Amino acid sequence: MKGKNWREFAPPEKQRRPLYRQSEIMPPKRKRRRRRGGLLRKLLLVMILFGLGYGGFLVYQHFAYPYTVALDAGHGGEDGGAQGIISEVWLTEETADALEALLKEDGRFRVVRSRENGETKSITERNRKFVRSSPDLVLSIHANADEDGSGYGFECYPAVPGMENHEESLSFARLLASHMETAGVRLRGEDGIRFGYYVPQEDGSSQKMLVESSDETVYEYDTFGILKNVDCAAVLVEQCFVTNESDVSLFGTEEGCRKAAQAYYAAILEYLGAEPVAQTE
Ligand SMILES: [Zn+2]
């Protein structure tokens, strides 16, 4: 009887054994979970290392480059700006390249360009890039134009009265105008400094309103987008008239753009209180 009973119970035992072996062969769910946990740990480690690396990079940049200049060559890509004897965008890129070269040669400046040469980028995108880079100043380069070619000279547009960065922008604008005047430019209006506003019209469009820098009224109008949201001096310059022969010959040739860049560079040094680098022959 005992033997018979044993045979009756034997098959279930045999069934259990293969099941147990199968579980040994097949990776149990717990093991899979452990692998996933390992991946997460690796990912976390990579993120920590990346964070440390990026932090180190920022610290390095801070000490290697005490100053950050945000540089905007106006227009670009599909938007060529004003057309005259030369195109505005040619002038803006030529001057921005020359200024960037001077700042890099100096060695103390991190230069953040709002766009690549030839690239189409909206004002909002450019401005966001500048805001992210926490610059010490913003310079946007443009050129003027008119219908009959009679207009001439330099003018610049700092962040307008009422904006948090107005005072420092006005100081920087005064230095830009002063160094450009030394370079031989004729200043437009009272002192080459104006404030620009967009006045909303009934039909939904906006009309540009320009006032002299002596008008410190706080208008509730919008201003140039590139000057906004940054916690530093921000100025837009109109280097010369691309429609005026004399202006183009002075500040719209390769040499003229380099001359303007030199003046902007001198203004940047003075504004930031950075000693000029000794020139080596
Ligand atoms: Zn322009």
Per-residue pLDDT tens over the stretch 69-97: 999 999 999 999 999 999 999 999 999 99
For tokens 């209006």, name the residue. 189
H/E stretch holding 67 reads strand 67-73
How many domains are contained in the chain?
2
Q: Do 90 and 30 lie in a common domain?
A: no
Is 223:195 a contact under the CB 8 Å cutoff? yes
For tokens 């080596």, name the residue. 280
Span from the CA of 278 to the centroid of ligand 1 (angstroms)? 34
How far apart CA 65 and CA 108 sit, in angstroms, is 5
| Tokens, residue 224 | 């140039």
Span from the CA of 190 to the centroid of ligand 1 (angstroms)? 21
Q: Do 37 and 171 lie in a common domain?
A: no
H/E stretch holding 144 reads strand 137-144
Q: 50 versus 260: which is more confidently predicted?
A: 260
Q: Is the dihedral of CA 241, 245, 246, 251 positive or negative?
A: positive
Span from the CA of 140 to the centroid of ligand 1 (angstroms)? 9
Does residue 17 carry a pLDDT above 80?
no
Please give the distance of CA 54 from its chain centroid, rounded to a whole number: 19
Span from the CA of 257 to the centroid of ligand 1 (angstroms)? 15
Span from the CA of 141 to the centroid of ligand 1 (angstroms)? 8
CATH of the domain at 185: 3.40.630.40
Average pLDDT, the chain: 89
Residue 219 lies in a domain: yes
Residue 231 lies in a domain: yes
By the CB criterion, residues less than 5 angstroms from ion ligand 1 are 74, 81, 142
Structural domain including 36 reads: 16-64
Span from the CA of 103 to the centroid of ligand 1 (angstroms)? 23
- Residue 34 has a pLDDT of 59
For tokens 């320009």, name the residue. 210
How far apart CA 235 and CA 264 sit, in angstroms, is 11
Span from the CA of 142 to the centroid of ligand 1 (angstroms)? 4
Q: 81 — alpha (psi -120 to 50), left (phi > 0) or beta?
A: left
pLDDT-based confidence at 54, cuts 50/70/90? confident
Span from the CA of 56 to the centroid of ligand 1 (angstroms)? 38
- Measured between alpha carbons, how far is residue 265 from residues 67, 130, 258 in Å? 13, 19, 10
Q: Do 189 and 71 lie in a common domain?
A: yes
Residue 21 lies in a domain: yes
Q: What is the pLDDT of residues 234-278, one digit of tens each?
A: 999 999 999 999 999 999 999 999 999 999 999 999 999 999 887
Span from the CA of 87 to the centroid of ligand 1 (angstroms)? 10
- Residue 56 has a pLDDT of 77
Determine the residue type at 162.
G
Q: Do 32 and 153 lie in a common domain?
A: no
Span from the CA of 100 to the centroid of ligand 1 (angstroms)? 19
How far apart CA 243 and CA 88 sit, in angstroms, is 10
Span from the CA of 6 to the centroid of ligand 1 (angstroms)? 99
Parallel, antiparallel, or unpaired: how do β-strands 137-144 and 233-241 relate? parallel
Q: Do 36 and 92 lie in a common domain?
A: no
Span from the CA of 251 to the centroid of ligand 1 (angstroms)? 15
Q: Do 41 and 79 lie in a common domain?
A: no
How far apart CA 17 and CA 23 sit, in angstroms, is 10
69 CB-near residues (< 8 Å, 6+ apart): 103, 109, 110, 111, 112, 135, 136, 137, 139, 268
Overall average pLDDT of the 102-131 stretch: 97
How far apart CA 72 and CA 194 sit, in angstroms, is 19
Span from the CA of 188 to the centroid of ligand 1 (angstroms)? 16
Does residue 163 carry a pLDDT above 90?
yes
Q: Do 71 and 59 lie in a common domain?
A: no
Of 39-53, 129-143, 189-203, 225-239, give the lowest mean pLDDT range: 39-53
Span from the CA of 75 to the centroid of ligand 1 (angstroms)? 6
Residue 187 lies in a domain: yes
Span from the CA of 89 to the centroid of ligand 1 (angstroms)? 8
How far apart CA 57 and CA 46 sit, in angstroms, is 16
Overall average pLDDT of the 41-50 stretch: 89
Q: Do 48 and 182 lie in a common domain?
A: no
